[in-house]
Structure 1
């Protein structure tokens, strides 16, 4: 099965619209949102077309197709307006036979590992830096995946999202180009 993964929309109606267009074109059945959906945060400039109410209106109709985790910019008020759960700090997903610890990245990340086993996947956003790599830490080999940011990329990266299709995790720019890819073993 194909899964669409995005992070750090930060209330941008423009980038949310582009994300949803890419989601529909991808043929994925589910979207995984890795937090920071509505608010831009005090450290970031306002993203293009900052309009959280428009983002709410675009995402709520897809509530049955979205799995989301809480970012450092989510608050209880966000849950009051979004019709899908957004306040869990993490989710354990088993997708295409891979055990995935999905989180935003501000609590658990490659420096502060969650409880994962050899070969597991750590999937997070937060840094706005795309990653698709295999790492070794504390004697464990694991996959470190980050779709980058849809609205406020950093480190010279383009605006991106990712798709998990079977064993392949690929990060795409909004022109449909694969920016980075890894096969999960």
Structure 2
């Protein structure tokens, strides 16, 4: 199974379209979105191509492929525009016999992990900073942000395939990776 992860769209139709181009190239079995769909929030600048309604329309075309969680900038009114569930604070996916705990990162986070078993995978967005590491026997991952990266990181997304989690820039460079063994 191959999964693609994106986070922190923040209403950028420009960067969402770039991510969906990568989705078409990567050909994953599913797209996992880690929250912050349509709004940039008061602490962030307006992202390139800011168009929340356009983001909703574009995502709805992929509704059968998306698994999603709510971010701290998402509200109930956003769910009214989206044709797939996205209001859960977390979800769990089973991948090659492992649990993947999926959340935005403003509740449970890499610094505040939920109760997980050794070898489980925890993935969050929220910080806009890519992570591929292991902490207390738990794989901790973050694909970074497609629209508003921080700490001099590139706009990025991630792919999990064949036991390898890789954060990639939109120019195709590997930003971070870790073998899930």
Does the pair score TM above 0.5? yes
Task: Determine helix, strand or coil for the equivalent of 2:101.
Answer: strand
Unpaired runs of at least 5, structure 1? none
Residue 166 (1) aligns with residue 162 (2): yes
Other-structure match for 1:88: 88
Q: Alignment partner of 2:62: what SS?
A: helix
Aligned residue in 1 for 2:139 = 143
- In structure 2, C-alpha distance between the alignment counterparts of 1:29 and 1:110, rounded to whole Å: 26
Structure 2, unaligned stretches of length 5 or more? none
Tell me if 1:54 matches 2:24: no
Task: Compute the displacement of 1:73 (Å).
Answer: 0.7
Cα distance in 2 for partners of 1:152, 1:23 equals: 19
What SS does the aligned partner of 1:4 have?
strand
Aligned to 2:36: 36
Cα distance in 1 for partners of 2:15, 2:5 equals: 14
Alpha-carbon deviations, 1:125-182, whole Å to 9, x = none? 000000000112xxxx111100000000001100000000020000000011111111
Corresponding residue of 2:107 = 107
SS of 2:16's equivalent in the other structure is: helix
Report what 1:66 is aligned to: 66
What is the count of residue pairs matched by the alignment?
181
The residue number in structure 2 matching 1:175 is 171
The RMSD of aligned alpha carbons is 0.7
**In 1, Cα distance between equivalents of 2:118 and 2:178:** 17
- Provide the secondary structure at the position in 1 that maps to 2:79: helix
Tell me the SS of whatever aligns to 1:50.
Answer: coil
- 2:6 equivalent in structure 1: 6
Shift in Å, 1:46? 0.4
Give the match for residue 45 of structure 1: 45
